[in-house]
Amino acid sequence: MGAIVYLFAFLFSGCMIIRFLLPRVTFTARIWLGLCLGILLMMWLPFLMGFAFTFSLTAHLLALLPLAALTGGCYLLRDKRSAKGWDENEKRLCITLLCIALPLTVIGAYLQHTHNIRPAADGSLHVGQSTYGDLNLHLGIITSMRNAALPADYSIFPGALLSYPFLMDSFSTSFMLLGTSLRFSVVFPGTLMMALTFSGYIILARRMADTKAGAVLAALLFFLNGGLGFLYVFDMVGVSTGMYGDGQLQSMAGFAGRIRNVLEGWYQAPTNHAEFTTYNLRWSNVICDMMIPQRTILGGWCQLLPCMYLMYDLLCPENGLPCQRSNDRRYDLRMLVLLGIWAGAMPLLHTHSFLALGLMSAGFMLYDLCHSGKDWKIALCSWMIYSVIAVCLATPQLFTWTFRQAAGSDSFLSLHFNWVNNSYSQGLRDGYLWFYVKNVGLPFILLLLALLEKNAKRRFLASGAFMIFLAAELIQFQPNEYDNNKLFYVWYMLCAVIAGDYMTDLYHRLKGLRARNVIAVLTLFVCFASAALTIAREWVSDYQSFSAQDVEAAQFIEENTEEHAMFMTWTQHINPVSALTGRKIVCGPALWLSFHGLDISQRTLEISQFYADPIGRKDILDQYGVDYIFVSSYERSNCQVNTFALDTAYEKIFESSRGDISIYAVE
């Protein structure tokens, strides 16, 4: 209850700040912007206070003081014009939100429930397919940030600064410090942010699109994305043309068998398919494979969308075309400064979203300056105000965390053409355009056709979108080439509006054609069939992540060891010590750390050497300050564990009820 009251204080302050500063923004958009701002403030203010008081309950309580000061300051600097109220347009927008955002939120809430350490009857903890890999990284950050000194290290690689954008996870830590369970701290904020992301995109699309139908289609095209991969499920359905692990989408004969393979197989849905070289299907559904498992993306989009809305509002006159020439061009200074602050707060939340916003801004700025006529100086001055504020706030974050991580590895920032279609620069797997047609689907074709027409608004949106596309298509920003999709999806946010508007145009142009409705239904089926199969797969997916023995051991560790104790374990990614308790371990998995620019080879070797010779290699324990030794099936299967030596030299302080897990204390 305390966590909800604390959250409400920030949400209320966020809404009040927006009301004070931006009264002329429409009513529904103000509420949405205020809620998003409240979340952003709850991420940042306790974190900043944590540098003086550790990331503790004390820091959270003291964070209410700057929150009150900010709210009061915004009242003193308020725009004294009357606020826009409720009208017929707001009513229609809310109906749209109820019809589109609410059902999507229900889907998101259910997947949050099933995919985030859901307790089973036998005491184990279960996850879904998409969270089986990444969730434990986030759980480890959440649990280890409790009362941590800032800036914090990786709990799975002590000694290395935590450079992964962590504010989304520390937001969940705040809930734990305020009394909630680990599961609630993941599920509740995740569901709240999904609701704000769904609603925010619809509000943004309605602001950008020419028609309500275009905005609705844009939201559906973005969140129910999937491409043409479903055709492989239907192709040659009467015979089996593949086998397990090689053409598996077509490994069964009959439509029922194909669907069963999609619903039961490991990444056999026709979007982000496991067999990259067989089908080259890499366009993940944003709900299932991005918003649910990749929490930094969810947090990033929750804050990116308000920045996009404010930027569009600044550039586009009410009910007018973007960047209209005017004899008396003005910008709302309050909105401009707020946009700069909001953008500058993003790097530690999601660096890719910050980068995408910067690229988008560059494209919009160039378009704006080219179309501002004699007002170009005013336009340039406005862009400079926004940019300087954002860069000044972002620079300490980038140099303290992001650039330090990138500088430690030669795998960051390299030239790379055509994303994952040219994996490791080994040559194109699919034809260039066909790769995007197959993966993005019909919306990609509609996008290209729409841009051939003379339409100022669509070209303006494209100027920001394709600045992102160009960078993501030519530069690899992380060791994992697939991670450039975090830029491509922001490109698609804008492009979906263009495609949705164009689809609406085409439908109206076909007026009088008797087959128009049939064509529309077939078009929608082609656009959404892959997404429907992917969501259905995640809806039924269920995997055990932690056994009852893992949970039993984690509970013992929580109750009987020091909060920041160091454990010796193997490097498996499903690790109850690091994920469920937040205790430090000598080394985590390459699955995450290698993509974060860290070399784990030396520590992995030393861990193996210690388990094989616990007495002779006690120096390894001293080197890393190990307090406890953890032995489970992972250690036994990956190391030659000398159990006799462990029992002889160290005190066994815990053994699980089935004897699967043992914990030894180091004196």
d(CA 240, CA 254): 8
Cα dist from 154 to 25, 173, 623, whole Å? 41, 15, 17
Query: What DSSP state is assigned to residue 479?
Result: S
Q: Taking residues 262-281, report their average pLDDT.
A: 91
Structure tokens at 155: 């709990």
Q: Taking residues 411-431, report their average pLDDT.
A: 87
Instruction: Look at residue 85 in the predicted model and tell me its pLDDT.
Output: 87
Helical (H) or strand (E) element with 446: helix 442-451
Q: Taking residues 499-524, report their average pLDDT.
A: 95
Instruction: Look at residue 403 in the predicted model and tell me its pLDDT.
Output: 84
> Does residue 409 surpass a pLDDT of 80?
no
Instruction: Look at residue 318 in the predicted model and tell me its pLDDT.
Output: 61
Over residues 336-353, the pLDDT tens digits come to 999 999 999 999 999 999
Over residues 560-606, the pLDDT tens digits come to 999 999 999 999 999 999 999 999 999 999 989 988 889 999 999 99
> Does residue 329 surpass a pLDDT of 70?
no
d(CA 63, CA 65): 5
d(CA 255, CA 238): 8
d(CA 405, CA 388): 24
**pLDDT band with cut points at 50, 70 and 90 for residue 323:** low
**pLDDT band with cut points at 50, 70 and 90 for residue 434:** very high
Over residues 37-56, the pLDDT tens digits come to 999 999 999 999 999 999 99
> Does residue 437 surpass a pLDDT of 70?
yes
Helix (H, G, I), strand (E, B) or coil at 651: strand
- What pTM was computed for the model? 0.95
Beta-carbon-side half-sphere exposure of residue 471 (alpha carbons within 13 Å): 26
* Bridge partner list, 519: none
Q: Taking residues 273-284, report their average pLDDT.
A: 90
Asked if omega into 151 is within 30° of 0 (cis), the reply is yes
**pLDDT band with cut points at 50, 70 and 90 for residue 19:** very high
> Residue 441 is which amino acid?
G
> Does residue 205 surpass a pLDDT of 80?
yes
> Does residue 317 surpass a pLDDT of 70?
no
296-325: buried (b, 16+ CB within 10 Å) or exposed (e) per residue? bbbbbbbbbbbbbbbbbbbbbeeeeebbee
d(CA 618, CA 46): 40
Torsion of CA 83, 89, 90, 94, to 10 degrees: -170
> Does residue 280 surpass a pLDDT of 90?
yes
What is the second-level CATH architecture of the domain 547-665? 3-Layer(aba) Sandwich (3.40)
DSSP string of 99-132, one letter each residue: IIIHHHHHHHHHHHHHHS-EE-TTS-EEE-TTTT
Helix (H, G, I), strand (E, B) or coil at 629: strand
Q: Where do the domains of the chain lie?
A: 1-86, 547-665
Instruction: Look at residue 406 in the predicted model and tell me its pLDDT.
Output: 64
320 or 439, higher pLDDT: 439
What angle (nearest 5°) sits at the alpha carbon of residue 452, between those of residues 440 and 482? 25
Share of the chain above pLDDT 70, in %: 97
Q: Taking residues 198-219, report their average pLDDT.
A: 96
Over residues 126-154, the pLDDT tens digits come to 999 999 989 999 999 999 999 999 999 99
**pLDDT band with cut points at 50, 70 and 90 for residue 438:** very high
Tokens 């004390």 belong to which residue? 58
Are 172 and 189 within 8 A, CB to CB?
A: yes
Instruction: Look at residue 160 in the predicted model and tell me its pLDDT.
Output: 93
